[in-house]
């Protein structure tokens, strides 16, 4: 499978010109690998690139020098990603593995009015639960990290891998969800007693809390109330931040790359992603299809099977006939796969508008080191000056 000339140029432009590339897609389609490849190609073209990974496979993480979760980006030694010294001197490559909790802690510390307020929240049990990658926190923190790197990191290409959620675009909705939580009636009720000393409201709140306590116990409810009260005065900071993250996501310098495999379930998910992105007024700029089977010619499987059947009843040289029949059946099977994959991908066409489509063939080995990442980059970006 080859990449068309137009897609080469469009993908090249994406890596050359965009500041933020968000890779999305369902789990198991090579999303993290693709994100790493895009960042690597950026660095090979002289950009100061960073890849933010969420949950990389161990060997890929090791290749990127990510032995543990890290709140800060670590630069990867040039000799590892550019062993022949082909990349322009300005090219740099860093990687970071999202640490949801410490990113959240930092956000709290930054927004708190005082050290005491920050401490009160960080030690709260409810907060400790919230910050531990639960209930969409990971999605929100991925976007928060993106914002932070964008504002302060000094990078000119930030490639973000997204969490493998079923609810595909949770990360896009995460800032909105936080705002919605702050607007939630219960949240407002909980905040009210300290805010306005409204005794009447307080009675209603107490009744409600008693109800909830019957189900989950008073301790939990007390934690929640304490958390929300500790939060007082920080709301505005959070709202502003959530809006800034939203603005960054919608910025024209941000590009969405949809990653998929040509399998039916992955393509179904990808179609859903593309649809949701459109609903969020975002465009898919490129579709990268990993693990594409070769086409093996263009014959119809039915004809190949008919030939196999004819051979099976050939008595002249039964052994040779059986061998040839097996080969025809095998070719028919792989033609079925190839046709199926193309049909699935075709069903995605009308959802992705004019997005560039690039294909990465089925590789003999999994991609987990810079040699292999470079190989994939060469497949996707053949026009690169540094393609070796």
Partner 1 sequence: MRKMEVGQFCSTSHVVIVAGKGGVGKTTVTATLALVASRAGLRVLVVEVEGKSGLASMFGVPALEYEEVALADRIKARFLTPDAALVDYLESHGMKRISKRLANSGALDVVATAVPGMKDILVLGKVKSLEEQRKVDLVIVDAPAAGHAVTFLVSARGLLDAVRVGPVRKQAQDVVELLTDPARCEVMLVTIPEETPVNELIETAFAVEDKAGVALGPVIVNGCFDPLPADVVATTDAITRDATALDRFVSEREANDLARAAAFRAERFEIQREQAERLAQRLPLPQLRLPFVFDADISRPDLDVLADALTREIEALPAR
Interactions with partner 1, residue window 151-180 (CB under 8 A): 164, 166
Exactly one of 1, 201, 212, 372 binds partner 1 (CB under 8 A); that residue is 212
The answer to the question of residue 214 lying near partner 1 (CB under 8 A) is yes
Q: Give the count of beta carbons closer than 10 Å to the beta carbon of residue 327.
A: 14
Under a CB-based contact definition with an 8 Å cutoff, are residues 44 and 91 in contact? yes
Q: Which of residues 191-210 bind partner 1 (CB under 8 A)?
A: 208
Exactly one of 62, 113, 134, 236 binds partner 1 (CB under 8 A); that residue is 134
Q: Which helix or strand (DSSP H or E) is residue 165 part of? A: none
- Judged by DSSP in three states, 51 sits in strand
| Among 343, 206, 381, 344, CA closest to 267 | 344
DSSP state of 375: H
Question: Nearest distance from residue 23's CB to partner 1, in Å?
Answer: 15
- Candidates 70-78, 145-153, 334-342, 379-387: pick the segment binding partner 1 (CB under 8 A): 334-342
Question: What's the CA gap between 186 and 184, in Å, rounded?
Answer: 5
Of 75 and 366, which has the nearer Cβ to partner 1? 366
Exactly one of 10, 122, 201, 327 binds partner 1 (CB under 8 A); that residue is 327
Q: Which of residues 287-326 bind partner 1 (CB under 8 A)?
A: 293-294, 296-297, 299, 311, 314, 316-317, 319-324, 326
Q: Which of residues 88-127 bind partner 1 (CB under 8 A)?
A: 125-126
Torsion of CA 184, 186, 191, 197, to 10 degrees: 130
Q: Which of residues 54-83 bind partner 1 (CB under 8 A)?
A: 55, 57-59
Question: What's the CA gap between 380 and 382, in Å, rounded?
Answer: 6
Of 12 and 139, which has the nearer Cβ to partner 1? 139
Of 25 and 91, which has the nearer Cβ to partner 1? 25
Question: What's the CA gap between 376 and 385, in Å, rounded?
Answer: 15
Question: Nearest distance from residue 322's CB to partner 1, in Å?
Answer: 7
Question: Nearest distance from residue 151's CB to partner 1, in Å?
Answer: 27
Of 11 and 107, which has the nearer Cβ to partner 1? 107
Contacts of 371 (CB under 8 A, 6+ apart): none
Of 149 and 338, which has the nearer Cβ to partner 1? 338
- Judged by DSSP in three states, 140 sits in helix
Question: What's the CA gap between 350 and 50, in Å, rounded?
Answer: 32
Exactly one of 16, 223, 235, 369 binds partner 1 (CB under 8 A); that residue is 223
Q: Which of residues 242-281 bind partner 1 (CB under 8 A)?
A: 261, 263-266, 268
Helical segments of the chain, H only: 5-17, 31-44, 58-63, 78-81, 100-111, 115-123, 125-131, 137-152, 170-183, 185-196, 199-216, 218-230, 235-250, 264-279, 301-312, 318-349, 370-380
Question: Nearest distance from residue 340's CB to partner 1, in Å?
Answer: 3
Of 27 and 83, which has the nearer Cβ to partner 1? 27
């Amino acid at each position: 499978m080859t990449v068309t000339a137009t897609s080469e140029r469009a993908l090249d432009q994406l890596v050359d010109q965009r500041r933020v590339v968000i890779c999305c897609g369902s789990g198991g389609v090579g999303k993290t690998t693709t994100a790493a490849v895009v960042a690597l190609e950026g660095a090979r073209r002289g950009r100061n690139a960073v890849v933010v990974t969420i949950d990389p496979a161990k060997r890929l993480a090791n290749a990127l020098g990510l032995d543990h979760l890290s709140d800060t980006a670590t630069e990867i030694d040039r000799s590892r990603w550019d062993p022949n010294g082909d990349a322009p001197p300005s090219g740099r490559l860093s990687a970071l593995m999202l640490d949801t909790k410490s990113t959240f802690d930092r956000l709290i510390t930054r927004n708190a009015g005082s050290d005491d307020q920050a401490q009160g929240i960080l030690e709260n049990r409810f907060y400790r639960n919230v910050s531990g990658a639960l209930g969409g926190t990971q999605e929100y923190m991925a976007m928060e990290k993106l914002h932070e790197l964008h504002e302060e990191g000094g990078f000119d290409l930030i490639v973000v891998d997204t969490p493998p959620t079923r609810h595909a675009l949770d990360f896009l909705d995460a800032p909105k969800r936080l705002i919605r939580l702050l607007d939630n009636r219960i949240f407002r009720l909980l905040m009210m007693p300290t805010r306005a000393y409204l005794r009447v409201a307080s009675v209603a709140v107490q009744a409600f809390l008693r109800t909830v306590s019957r189900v989950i116990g008073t301790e939990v409810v007390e934690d929640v109330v304490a958390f929300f009260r500790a939060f007082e005065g920080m709301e505005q900071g959070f709202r502003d931040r959530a809006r800034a993250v939203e603005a960054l996501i919608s910025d024209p310098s941000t590009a969405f790359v949809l990653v998929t495999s040509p399998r039916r379930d992955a393509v179904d998910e990808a179609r859903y992603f593309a649809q949701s992105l459109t609903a969020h007024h975002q465009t898919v700029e490129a579709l990268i299809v990993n693990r594409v089977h070769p086409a093996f010619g263009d014959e119809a499987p039915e004809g190949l099977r008919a030939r196999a059947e004819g051979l099976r009843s050939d008595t002249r040289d039964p052994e040779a006939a059986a061998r040839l029949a097996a080969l025809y059946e095998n070719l028919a099977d792989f033609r079925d796969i190839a046709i199926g994959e193309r049909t699935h991908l075709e069903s995605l066409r009308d959802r992705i508008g004019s997005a560039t489509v690039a294909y990465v063939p089925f590789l003999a080995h999994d991609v987990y080191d810079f040699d292999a990442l470079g190989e994939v980059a060469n497949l996707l970006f053949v026009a690169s000056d540094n393609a070796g």
